[in-house]
Structure 1
Amino acid sequence: MPSALRRKFFASSVDPQEGSSSSASASEFGTAEMHLQDPERYAPHGESKHAQNEVTADQASEEVPNEDAQAGVTQAEAITLSWTKSSMIGTYALMWSIYCVNAFQSNITSNLSPYITSGFEAHSLLPVISIISSIMGAATYMPLAKVLNLWDRTVGLLIMLVFFLLGLILSATCNGIGTYCAAQVFYAIGSAGLIFCVDVVTIDTSTLRSRGLAYALTSSPFIITAYAGPAAAEQFYATNWRWGYGTFCIVLPCVVLPFFGLLRYFRSKAKKNGLLKPKAASGRTFKQSVWYYIIEFDVLGVFLLTAGLALFLLPFTIAGSAEEDWKTPHIIVMLVIGFCCLIAFALAERFLAPVPFLPWELLANRTVIGACLIDATYQISYYCWYDYFTSYLQVVFGTSLATAGYIGSIFDVVSGVWLFCVGFAIKGSRRFRWLLWIAVPLYILGIGLMIYFRKPGFSVGYTIMCQVFIAFAGGTMIICQQVAVLSASDHNNAAAALAFLNVFGNIGGGIGGSISGAVWQHTLPNALQKYLPADALADWETIYEDLATQLSYPMGDPVREAIIKAYAVAQSRMLIAGTCIMATSLVWMFIIKDVKLTKTQTKGVLF
């Protein structure tokens, strides 16, 4: 194992430089002391007093926040310059706890969702809910990154907690599919935003070289919750599924508020130490402030993006239920207006926005473009088949809710462990692109094999094997994408760069959900009508809409066998679409530069 991998995870002030060592630092102590006594006498040959003063100024700048950066970035640097290693460890423990609670509730609610929608006789609406959630998540990242940069990391954290709790409360109390869908919008904004805030703080508190390892640590709770979640979901379903949401209304604030308080405490400490100067009055009137924030938060851009995605993606899912399918006028109108809104968004960001979301030079960076394209392609491919995966396992293989959840959680367990290996590999090699060359082909192989093994008659073990391949590859890609976009930006633009990556990912998830919904609605009803016995043909709509009805027929029953055949056809087409789309990533991975991770971005006591 390379010696670099055996070094401590934590570094102080800046990234370690090539060839540096503690012994070298110790040997230079005496020289530094003599410089203080007589800088002219002990200066290296040819070095002037002016040059020494420049070095001293550079060293001093490393010990104070960058005042030219945005307020949120300056405050983050002041915090890491004010705390100790034990404080930093405590912060990571709290971030780990937030990830743990979020992963646990996400695992529970994702397993309950098919039954909740079936209870409202709307099982086929799963992709619609997924699309809306993805769209709202994508629309959240841009303004949230602005909040974190313009104001404070803790302000964004508190806002997202409120949205998260509102979504959980509405989900726990809903009595119809409309309220449930609205609840999922608030839930999607809060959940995605809260984790984004934690990820940005992870950027603030880690070196570029160790960032992959830091992300592996904060996301490791998925290893624990992957198997606890499905078992808990089964118990909640057996008693009262509403408590699957209500429980976390109590638990979530218990882990988020201490994290909020810790960051606030060290921000206050930084002010007392003189690292943060008092904020000067803006001098703006109320109307001027409103206009200022409209410009800064790019309200026009956010509106165009959200409207464009919603209007363009939803028709792919709802067209199947329209009377004239794709010929229905409102379906055509939605597609046209949605496409025009997306074009208008791109043009507005390039030519009209006084404060664009990201600097144009960063948007044109090939590493950023390549990473975002891989993320979008990966998410499209994944959500082409994932939304109905646990339903497929229960119907085709006769697994229980818990067992289906366990199989669906293989990704979380395997990738959670594997991420540490990826983090160490990036930290040791100081490069990440070589990992993509392994991960992308492996992911394509995993999905491709599922096309073959999804047929009735094969053991569920083959599906589990494919899930393991997908987990190894998917976990590697996720870390490499994040490190790639962050390696191309500085600390001032890091939150925006990460938000940009997440926007692409959410858009990809929305497109994948649209494809999944379109395939489901255009395949399963026809397949059911083709394969169902004559005495059950009149009930095909009830069977189509309700998972519980599908499972009510025992294995071996002619109706159940017909349902299994219909599922196999639908799942096959979803997987073929996912495999073909993912194949384009073989091109995207060559766009990314082979960046060496030696750049210093952050200051203070770091991971």
Structure 2
Amino acid sequence: MADEKIEGVGESFKAVSGEAADRPSTTPDHERRVSDGSGETQEGVKAMEAISMTWSKWGLILAYVGIFLMAFTTSLEGQVTYSVVAFATSSFSSHSLIATVYVIQGVVNAVIKPPMAKIADVFGRLEAFTICIVLYVLGYIQMAASANVQTFAAAQIFYSAGSTGLQILQQVFVADTSDLSNRALFSSLPDTPFLVTTWIGSIIGGAFVASSIWRWAYGIWAIILPVVFLPLALTLLLNGRRAKRMGLHPEKRNFTEGGILNVVANIWNQLDIGGIILLSASFALILIPLTLTKSTPGGWQSPTIIALIVVGGVLLIIFPLWEGSKKLAPHPLIPLELLRSRTFCAGCAIGFFYFLVFYLSVQPYFYSYLLVVQRQSIPAAGHITQTFSFASTVTSIVVSLMIKYTRHYKYFVTSGSLIYLLGVGLMIRYRTEDANVGSLVGTQIAVGIGGGMLNVPAQLGVQASASHQQMAAATAVFLTLVEIGGAVGSAISGAIWTQLIPSKLSHYLPAELAPQAHTIFGNVNVARDYSTYPPGSPARIAINRSYQETMHVLLMIAVVLCAPLVLLSFLMRNYKLDAVKQGVKGKVIGGDTGADEKKVDIGESHT
């Protein structure tokens, strides 16, 4: 591929086609185009290819403007609500249930990506985007109106489904409209708002808390998000109609033909609803109980906790058996042929461990640690923890540009895993009560640089191992494993936090204050109240020591679980990205011209 330059978003749009990587070169072309193990291309993919053939330069620019506006809105919302969630749960006297909120988010985030990718493949990209916006808005409204922590936690189902659905669909859209050499750069587009929102989000969140109107920190986005979705929605809608007028748009399958039983069977098979149920139930039953052991009579020995985890484990074993059956899953949620790819498996595992470590080190309790032990203000604590987002975003953009011109990604994955490990190690070194702000910020910069070098390149490697027909599924599986890692990390950190903090407070607090251990544990405002528990007092020493020791345990576990990232990076193949063909049709950023270009042997694609 020639060294073309991106000038705006245009002039480099060309038709591209070809086949996937990481499969034997002897595989016949018609078999290599199979997307989901069924031997056919689903209607949503055909519709997107038809739309891609109608893109104009400015139409595609407008579509990417829409992607950026949605990304900016959701990024700002995430930064604002991150600063508010501790106070929202504390208002219900349930600060410790932050981990449960994050686990619910993680479970929904984990299980919704493959179904949403499947919906986009079956019904279309616009339809899937619209569903996500509706779910997002419902979640916002329910959180804003919640009267108790149970309602607030339940709202995470709608919120997380909409949020993570938009995340996967944005990445699928980028994959639909860019070639591999440029994809890392454009995949970073939804992250660029963090360069701004990282610094203003916590300030806005602090203002909501100071005004005692934290509910509006959630409710306001129910108005803003649908508005910023309009540019992308209109672009997809108008180009879809244009494709129909040009005869490019395929006739969509009519799922309502043949009676009620046939309708149910069609939808069941096309979406693999059985697989969705198995995957969703298994992760929910395994992960959520892990943070509820403290509040459940009997704790880890509770028959209920044990039964839930066992049943979840059994369903997780059944899931691949279901997916491997042509009769039960004619259109499997996750194409099992992807599992034959070493790069795909290693890349997904990297995503898992990356977020697992993140949710043991930076999220969700480092923020509380800064508020209580380091005596940081709400904006300052937010800025320190969000330094990770800023550093990782800048790094991912720089790395993406380097990938564009080097045509390789593996070097960055390996280097990033080493820097990420170093950053977490530095968090242990500077986890002291007298650590200065510069040291705390420095650790987050190191972790952020490592994360920025890991996430996007690893995702790119996973996508390089799939055809265009498998792109949505491959991306969904990668992001699913990322979310599962986050959910597991939240579950582990929540279990440790809820076990250690109360017991340490009861042990370290003076006897006359021991009955207050539950109140201190349950409300971060009480724990950080230096007027009631002044510096140097026995109570303050006990509180800070409890937080310090618990945070040390979390970081030690994080370092151990960070080590596999380095080993996994060596397993990924070092593809030459401009030599990998994926069968993308229509106009894409930086593509090769010609629908019938010579297929590139995968053996030529890695070094």
The verdict on a shared fold, with TM-score over 0.5 as the criterion, is yes
C-alpha distance in structure 2 between counterparts of 1:360 and 1:333, whole Å: 29
Q: Greater shift after overlay, 394-403 or 73-82?
A: 73-82
1:31 match = none
Q: What TM-score do you get using the length of structure 2 for normalisation?
A: 0.88
Indicate whether 1:589 and 2:597 are aligned.
no
1:286–1:389 distance in 2 versus 1, CA, 3 Å: same
Map residues 208-287 of structure 1 onto 2, 5 A cutoff.
208-239=180-211, 240-279=213-252, 283-287=257-261
C-alpha distance in structure 2 between counterparts of 1:355 and 1:7, whole Å: 37
Residue 556 of structure 1, aligned match among 518, 532, 535: 535
Counterpart of 1:354 in structure 2: which amino acid? Answer: P
C-alpha distance in structure 2 between counterparts of 1:473 and 1:241, whole Å: 33
C-alpha distance in structure 1 between counterparts of 2:421 and 2:383, whole Å: 22
1:316 match = 290
Counterpart of 2:568 in structure 1: which amino acid? Answer: W
1:314–1:358 distance in 2 versus 1, CA, 3 Å: closer
C-alpha distance in structure 2 between counterparts of 1:416 and 1:579, whole Å: 22
2:300 match = 326
Counterpart of 1:545 in structure 2: which amino acid? Answer: G
Count of matched residue pairs: 556
Contact 1:437 1:589 in 2 (8 A): yes
Q: Secondary structure, in 3 states, of the residue corresponding to 1:86?
A: helix
Indicate whether 1:424 and 2:401 are aligned.
yes
Residue 207 of structure 1, aligned match among 169, 179, 187: 179
Counterpart of 2:445 in structure 1: which amino acid? Answer: V
Q: Secondary structure, in 3 states, of the residue corresponding to 1:13?
A: strand
C-alpha distance in structure 1 between counterparts of 2:131 and 2:306, whole Å: 37
Residue 566 of structure 1, aligned match among 543, 546, 555: 546
> RMSD of the alignment, in Å?
1.9
1:464–1:341 distance in 2 versus 1, CA, 3 Å: same
Indicate whether 1:531 and 2:508 are aligned.
yes
Map residues 76-95 of structure 1 onto 2, 5 A cutoff.
76-95=48-67
Q: Which has the larger radius of gyration?
A: 1
1:16–1:357 distance in 2 versus 1, CA, 3 Å: closer
In the TM superposition, what is the alpha-carbon distance from 1:98 to its structure 2 partner?
Answer: 0.3
Indicate whether 1:543 and 2:543 are aligned.
no
Structure 1 unaligned spans of 5+:
18-66
Q: Greater shift after overlay, 590-599 or 563-572?
A: 590-599
1:321–1:279 distance in 2 versus 1, CA, 3 Å: closer
C-alpha distance in structure 1 between counterparts of 2:139 and 2:254, whole Å: 36
In the TM superposition, what is the alpha-carbon distance from 1:302 to its structure 2 partner?
Answer: 1.5
- 1:493-513: CA deviations, max 9, x gaps? 111111111111111111101
In the TM superposition, what is the alpha-carbon distance from 1:209 to its structure 2 partner?
Answer: 1.1
- 1:184-211: CA deviations, max 9, x gaps? 1111111111222222111111111100
Q: What TM-score do you get using the length of structure 1 for normalisation?
A: 0.88
Contact 2:41 2:469 in 1 (8 A): yes
The structure with the greater share of residues assigned to helix is 1
Contact 1:317 1:515 in 2 (8 A): yes
- 1:407-446: CA deviations, max 9, x gaps? 1111221222222211111111111011111000110110
Map residues 336-485 of structure 1 onto 2, 5 A cutoff.
336-351=310-325, 352-385=328-361, 386-485=363-462
Indicate whether 1:141 and 2:120 are aligned.
no
Q: Greater shift after overlay, 103-112 or 340-349?
A: 340-349
Q: Secondary structure, in 3 states, of the residue corresponding to 2:577?
A: coil
1:110 match = 82
Q: Secondary structure, in 3 states, of the residue corresponding to 2:220?
A: helix
Map residues 55-134 of structure 1 onto 2, 5 A cutoff.
69-134=41-106
1:509 match = 486
1:216–1:501 distance in 2 versus 1, CA, 3 Å: same
C-alpha distance in structure 2 between counterparts of 1:15 and 1:429, whole Å: 20
Q: Greater shift after overlay, 223-232 or 7-16?
A: 7-16
In the TM superposition, what is the alpha-carbon distance from 1:75 to its structure 2 partner?
Answer: 1.8
- 1:254-293: CA deviations, max 9, x gaps? 1113311111001111111222244465653332121111
Contact 2:276 2:333 in 1 (8 A): no
In the TM superposition, what is the alpha-carbon distance from 1:476 to its structure 2 partner?
Answer: 1.5
1:155–1:281 distance in 2 versus 1, CA, 3 Å: closer
C-alpha distance in structure 1 between counterparts of 2:447 and 2:379, whole Å: 21
C-alpha distance in structure 2 between counterparts of 1:16 and 1:277, whole Å: 19
Contact 2:288 2:491 in 1 (8 A): yes
- Considering Cα pairs closer than 8 Å and 6+ residues apart, tell me whether 1 or 2 has the greater RCO: 2
Counterpart of 1:221 in structure 2: which amino acid? Answer: P
1:21 match = none
- 1:155-191: CA deviations, max 9, x gaps? 1111111110000000111110111011111111111
2:13 match = 12
- 1:275-320: CA deviations, max 9, x gaps? 2244465653332121111122222222122221122122322223
